[in-house]
Amino acid sequence: MEKRPLGATGIEVSMLGFGASPLGGVFGPVAQEEATRAVYAALDLGINLFDTAPFYGATKSESVLGEALVGIPRERFVLATKVGRYGAANFDFSADRVMLSIEESLQRLRVDTIDIMTCHDIEFVPIDQVVNEAIPALHRARDQGKIRFVGVSGLPLRIYRDALDRTSLDTILSYCHHTLNDDSLLDLIPYLQAKQVGIINASPFAMGLLTGAPPPEWHPAPESLKAACRRAAEHCRARGAELAPLALRFAVSNPSIATTLVGMRSQQEVEQNVAWLQQPQDTALQAEVLEILRPVHNVSWPSGNSERARG
Ligand code: NAD
């Protein structure tokens, strides 16, 4: 598995990262044994980055991942989790909650240090609180050796400039913006590189729109986008191919993006995704799919409080 440098952190991460939100049951139930097999398979195949959050499955993802990683030498994995989001509408980026959250995550993940701590979905709260409270608290935790690097995540791309114009960050975690249907992250890359920020891209399947199977009930995309992704999947099937491998290879293709987190819940999905990466992209089919998706290119959905939801 190819490894790429993560900004100026000095660490190298596998180009495919393990997104552990499915281990919290957000795409359907997952047993601990299956989760553990998935994590072992990922490590065996060279995946070294694991991303979770207290929000995923109301802390279940962190607990299940922590259990799966018991006994694995700490230097074999880069562990990323988040602070600030605890429910669909439950956010708290106060310094006290951030410090408590770190302790809770360390316990659930059963480690002494978390490598990357990300402020989770910052578009939902005033940027002042993130910059003036959460990030200074994270820097204190870093100085105490509890975490190593600090980042932010969220859907609207403007949040990254909002934060980075006012503070320094090691990483950002953007999702659903470097996929077959939406490549708007590309415009931000020069700015992020100038700031030496490690770029973590997530959701190569657009949170289930590009797997070829129906997306989860809660998927926030507008119907026009869901319908176009269905047409793209049907087109691939008619050509005797699948949409998912095309989507995965597209998402990881830009070397300026250090890693792409894919949500995985079984050994079979891990092995399948790694195998797909080893196959060459079908560029003719990719061009046909991009043409089908052109009417919905870069169509997204609102996320966050009203004045900062888009952009
Ligand atoms: P995704 O695009 O990676 O899609 C995940 C879905 O694809 C799941 O249903 C999974 O079971 C399925 N899948 C995976 N491999 C498959 C295969 N080979 N064949 C068929 N289906 C397959 O979306 P995601 O899980 O939301 O995103 C990946 C990770 O990125 C998350 O787990 C999380 O760690 C991170 N993330 C973070 C944020 C944030 O910070 N706000 C937002 C989104 C994602």
117 C-beta neighbours (distance < 10 Å), count: 29
The answer, yes or no, to whether residue 278 has pLDDT greater than 80, is: yes
Q: Is the CB of 304 under 6 A from ligand 1?
A: no
Q: pLDDT band for 4, please (50, 70, 90 cuts).
A: very high
Q: Is the pLDDT of residue 311 over 70?
A: no
Contacts of 299 (CB under 8 A, 6+ apart): 181, 182, 221, 222, 224, 225
Look at the chain and count its residues.
311
Choice between 26 and 231, residue whose per-residue pLDDT is larger: 231
Asked whether the predicted pLDDT for residue 27 surpasses 90, the reply is no
Whether 297 has a pLDDT exceeding 90, the answer reads yes
Which CATH class, in words, describes the domain spanning 3-212+244-281?
A: alpha beta
150 contacts 117 by C-beta, under 8 angstroms: yes
**Could you give the CA distance from residue 286 to residue 194 in angstroms, rounded to a whole number?**
31
The domain limits of the chain are 3-212+244-281
What pLDDT score does 151 carry? Answer: 98
Pocket probe mutation, ligand 1, options 211, 237, 250, max atoms within 8 Å of Cβ: 211
Does the beta carbon of 175 lie inside 6 Å of ligand 1? yes
Q: Is 70 exceeded by the pLDDT of residue 310?
A: no
Residue 135 token pair? 């990030």
Which amino acid is located at 302 in the chain?
A: P
Q: Does 177 sit in the ligand 1 pocket, CB within 6 Å?
A: no
Q: How far is CA 30 from CA 64, 249, 273, in A?
A: 9, 26, 18
Among residues 286, 281, 283, 274, the alpha carbon closest in space to that of 2 is found at 274
Is the pLDDT at 309 greater than 80? The verdict is: no
**Does residue 156 have its Cβ closer than 6 Å to ligand 1?**
no
Q: Cα(263) to centroid of ligand 1, in Å?
A: 3
Q: Which of 56, 86, 160, 175 is catalytic?
A: 56
Closest residue to atom 15 of ligand 1, CA basis: 269
Q: Which of 82, 207, 209, 259 to mutate to test the pocket of ligand 1 (most atoms within 8 A of CB)?
A: 207
